[in-house]
């Protein structure tokens, strides 16, 4: 194997690039499997502190459920506004954890 790599990739820089590429491919599954924080395993205070510390973060809220929570409109796009957001936590089924960014709607009926 070493001769094959050395023959196909003569320079040290080319060999290093191949090794880096193999390392990146090997690390991809591990990075993809990193779990997002889940509010159901936190207390309400911990979930609130997690959002406060990050400013904006994606939190899991159930099996295959997640949402992005922010502390202020500064973490939304210019066309978005903040709406209060609650999530289930270990000690509170409806814990106010922060806000969600939503597109501004001119609908006066709130639909």
Structure-block tokens of residue 103: 């597109």
pTM above threshold 0.75: no
Query: What average pLDDT does the segment 34-63 reach?
Result: 95
The answer to which of 35-39, 67-71, 89-93 has the lowest mean pLDDT is 35-39
Please report which confidence band the pLDDT of residue 35 belongs to, taking 50, 70 and 90 as the band edges: confident
Q: Which carries the bigger pLDDT value, residue 97 or residue 15? A: 97
Tell me what pLDDT residue 23 has: 57
Least confident range of 20-24, 41-45, 70-74? 20-24
Say if CB 51 and CB 59 are below 8 A apart: yes
Q: Which of 89-99 are b and which e, b meaning 16 or more Cβ less than 10 Å from the residue's Cβ?
A: beebeebebbb
| Residue with the larger pLDDT of the pair 33 and 44 | 44
pLDDT at 16 over 70: no
């Amino acid at each position: 194997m070493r001769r094959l790599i050395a023959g196909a990739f003569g320079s040290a820089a080319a060999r290093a690039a191949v090794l880096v590429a193999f390392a990146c491919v090997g690390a991809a599954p591990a990075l993809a499997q990193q779990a997002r924080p889940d509010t159901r395993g936190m207390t309400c205070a911990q979930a609130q502190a997690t959002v406060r510390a990050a400013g904006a973060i994606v939190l899991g809220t159930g099996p295959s459920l997640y949402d992005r929570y922010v502390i202020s409109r500064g973490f939304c796009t210019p066309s978005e506004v903040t709406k209060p957001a609650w999530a289930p936590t270990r000690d509170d089924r409806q814990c106010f954890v922060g806000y969600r960014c939503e597109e501004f709607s001119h609908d006066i009926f709130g639909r």
